[in-house]
Structure 1
C-alpha cells in the first residue's frame, strides 16, 4: 500500500522501538522519512535498513528537547523537499525516570516534574516547530503525538508519568483547535504496553524485583484486562500511525487513538 506516497515525514526519538516501528511503516506506505535521535549511529543504521528495503530515508542527529536542533532539522527538510507532511515524536522515559514508583508523599518535586519536562515538553517543542513549517509551506500536515495508557489508569506511585501522559492528551486537543484552520490535524497515539519492547520488559522486571513478585504474575495481571486476550504489536502500532497520517485518516483529529486491542481497565 502507498497511502503516504510523495509525503515527507520526520520521526523524532527514532532510536526508540516505537518510533523506529513508525518510521519503517511510514516508509513502507510510501513516505520519505527523516529519522532523528541523539544517537546518530542508531538512526544511520535505521535509515540504511529502510533504504535497503526499498524505502527512502535520511538520518539526522537531533535532541528532541532542544528547540534549536529541532528547528534546524525541520528547516533543512523543508529546504530539501519544499514541504513537511508528517511528524511523529516517540520520546519516552526509562523506569527510573518514571519516579521509581515512589509514593507521592515521598517523591520530590523534581522527580514529579521530570516526566512532564521530558515527554510533554518534547511533544510541545516538536509539535509547535513543525506547525510553523507546515503553515509556512501550506502542507496541511499531520502531527502525531505519543502518550501512554497511564493517562486514564489508576495506578499508585506513578504521579509524574501519569500526569505527563494526561497532559499530552490535553495538549493534543488544544493544538488541534489552534491549527485546524491551517489544515493541520493533531492526533495522539496512546500505546498499550507493548510486551516486545525493552522498556516494558524492563519495567516489568524492575517492578517484579522491587515488590518480590514473579515476572509471570505481573504479566498475567496486566493481560487479565485484555478484551480480545491479545496484545498489540509494534508493527500494528506503526501501521496505525501510517493510517492516521494518510488522507483516509483525516476523520481522526484531536482524538486520542488507543492502540491496545481493547482494555477493560482503560476508560
Structure 2
C-alpha cells in the first residue's frame, strides 16, 4: 500500500544510514523524495538508487545547519511543486566530532554544547523553515524529528548527546502545540541501537577500545535488555516513518515514537 502517494517529501542529512532508509521507504510508498546532505556524492548515489528501483527522487547539496541554504532549497521545492508534505531530518553526531566521551567532570562547556548545537539546533532550523512553507501553502504536512534512546537512558560519559536527545523530544512537543492549529503534525522517531548502521558499529568499536573489553561483550550487554530478544532493522525504521507521515499516523502527533522492539532499560 502506498501511504504517501503524490506526497512531496524532503529528507535532510540523507547521507546517514537511518535517513537513507527512511528516504527509500518514503519513495516505496509513492512519495516524490528530495534527498539532501552536505555530501553531494552520497545523496546523488542515493537518488540514483531510488530511481533505479522505480521511485521518484532528486538530490541536492544542503547543509542542515545553514538556515539560508535550508530556506532557499525548501522555497524552490515549493515553487516546483506548490506544496511541501513531509520533512525529515536525520542529522546525527559521531563521538569523535564531540571530542570523544569525556566524563562530565572533565568535559569542557564547548564539548557539552556541541551536540546541542548540531543535533537539536539543526532539527530546530529545518522544522521551523518547513513549517513556514507548510503554513504558506496550507499543506497541513508532517515534520519528523530524530532523537535517540539516550534521552531516557542512564549512561555515563555522554552528557552532551543525552541532553541534546532530550531537547529534541521537548522541541517536538512544543512545535506540535504551536503548529497544530495549521494542521501540521510534529512527531519524533527514537530508534534503538540499529546494529547495521555505521554509527553504532563505530561506537561499539570506540567504546570497546576505551574500556578494554571485546566488542561482543558490549553488544551482549545491550541485547540483555531486549524484551523480544531482537533488534529493529533499518527497513523497520523506514516503514515506521512512512506510517507516521501518512494520514493514519496522525494519531501520533506530538509523540516520541520508540523504534526499538522494546527495551527494559528505557523509560
TM-score by length of 2: 0.99
Mapping 1:68-79, distance limit 5 Å: 68-79=68-79
- Aligned equivalent of 2:228: 228
User: Secondary structure, in 3 states, of the residue corresponding to 1:162?
Assistant: helix
Instruction: Report how far residue 96 of structure 1 moved.
Output: 1.3
* 1:177 lines up with 2:177 in the alignment: yes
Aligned residue pairs, count: 267
CA RMSD between the two structures: 0.6
Instruction: Report how far residue 99 of structure 1 moved.
Output: 4.2
- Aligned equivalent of 1:261: 261
- Aligned equivalent of 1:191: 191
* 1:250 lines up with 2:227 in the alignment: no
Runs of 5+ consecutive residues of structure 1 not aligned to the other structure: none
Q: Is the 8 A contact 1:37 1:62 kept in 2?
A: yes
CA distance in 2, matches of 1:191, 1:97: 21
- Aligned equivalent of 2:215: 215
User: Secondary structure, in 3 states, of the residue corresponding to 1:144?
Assistant: strand
Q: Is the 8 A contact 1:21 1:238 kept in 2?
A: yes
Runs of 5+ consecutive residues of structure 2 not aligned to the other structure: none
- Aligned equivalent of 1:28: 28
Instruction: Report how far residue 97 of structure 1 moved.
Output: 2.9
- Aligned equivalent of 2:123: 123
Q: Is the 8 A contact 1:102 1:157 kept in 2?
A: yes
Instruction: Report how far residue 157 of structure 1 moved.
Output: 1.0
Q: Is the 8 A contact 1:4 1:31 kept in 2?
A: yes
- Aligned equivalent of 1:37: 37
CA distance in 2, matches of 1:255, 1:107: 32
Instruction: Report how far residue 15 of structure 1 moved.
Output: 0.4
User: Secondary structure, in 3 states, of the residue corresponding to 1:26?
Assistant: helix
- Aligned equivalent of 2:88: 88
- Aligned equivalent of 1:60: 60
- Aligned equivalent of 1:49: 49
CA distance in 2, matches of 1:175, 1:39: 28
User: Secondary structure, in 3 states, of the residue corresponding to 1:266?
Assistant: coil
Instruction: Report how far residue 98 of structure 1 moved.
Output: 4.2
Q: Is the 8 A contact 1:99 1:158 kept in 2?
A: no
* Offset from partner CA, 1:13-65 (integer Å, 9 cap, x none): 00000000000000000000000001111111111111111110000110000
CA distance in 2, matches of 1:244, 1:26: 11
CA distance in 2, matches of 1:234, 1:39: 21
Instruction: Report how far residue 194 of structure 1 moved.
Output: 0.3
Q: Which runs of 4+ in 1 moved over 2 A?
A: none
